[in-house]
Amino acid sequence: MINKIRRSIPEAVEDIKDGATLLIGGFGEAGSPIELIHAVIDQGARELTVVNNNAGNGQVGLAALIAAGRVRKVICSYPRSSHSRVFTELYRAGKIELELVPQGTLAERIRAGGAGIPAFYTPTSVGTPLAEGKEEREFDGRRYVLERGLRADFALVKAERADRFGNLAYNKVARNFGPIMCMAAETAIVQVRRLVEPGEIDPEQVVTPGVFVKRLVEVPEPLVESELVAQGASYP
């Protein structure tokens, strides 16, 4: 029998080791798997490389993981937030590494990684500092830079509904990086608001087919990051 459901959040993340690369879903707070991130803080893995569009808000979720000193390197497009100084302070102190990637290039690197494409050419960033040192080639009279596909040990993703096969449906723009991150990770771990019986998600409505998902854990009432930030909450 295929059953990807784990009984608890700690069990879902227990084998994340020091030095692992994590793809963490979410754009701002939408889709941020905050309970899974907090479980990684509790679990203790260090020297992590984290891929996310941003670098966290307030002092919860990704910002808390960074503040706890667990992250060696961040790969992202926009590590600034009006509600967080965590990344900025560590970066200025030279205590965290940043690989800045244009947002669409980041998404395509993850998609390519998950699709078995080791590298691709894109027009994005040609002639800018972010293209320095990258191979360039002309196609049909236009210049492109070579970018590498991106894979990771784990993905931490939030979805709306899932069945035990790992088929996922998302909620509105919380979808964002979820589908491609599940594809690009050896082990995609997904927190879902509601587990349903197989067949309850219409096959036409499955956004991430279960083949891309390894573990599921139900979190019926996930924390809302903006509420925590407004309250000045911090984790742990």
Residues lying near another protein in the complex (CB under 8 A) are found at 27-31, 53, 77-80, 87-88, 91-92, 98, 100-105, 107-108, 110-111, 122-130, 170-180, 207, 224-226
For the CB of residue 176, give the shortest distance to another protein in the complex, in Å: 5
Answer for the pair 60, 33: CB distance below 8 angstroms, yes or no: no
Identify any residues that bridge with 155 across adjacent strands, giving them in sequence order.
23, 188
- CB-wise, 7 or 172, nearer to another protein? 172
Nearer to another protein, 68 or 207 (CB): 207
Q: Residue 173, SS3? A: helix
Least distance in angstroms from the C-beta of 75 to another protein: 13
Q: Which two tokens stand for residue 121?
A: 């050419």
What token pair was written down for 67?
């503040």
Q: Which is nearer to another protein, 43 or 77 (CB)?
A: 77
First to last CA, the chain: 37
**How many other C-beta atoms lie within 10 A of the C-beta of residue 109?**
25
Least distance between another protein and beta carbon 15 (Å): 27
Annotate 23-81 with DSSP letters as a single string: EE--BTTBT--HHHHHHHHHHT--SEEEE-SS--STBSHHHHHHHTT-EEEEEES---B
Q: How far is the CB of 226 from another protein (least distance, A)?
A: 6
* Rounded Cα distance, 209 and 219, in Å: 20
State which residue, 165 or 177, has the beta carbon closest to another protein: 177
Task: Tell me how far, at minimum, the Cβ of 104 lies from another protein, in Å.
Answer: 3
Choice between 23 and 217, CB closer to another protein:
23
By C-beta, is 65 or 183 nearer to another protein? Answer: 183
Closest contact distance (angstroms) between CB of 149 and another protein is 12
Measured CA to CA, the distance from residue 193 to residue 170 in angstroms comes to 10
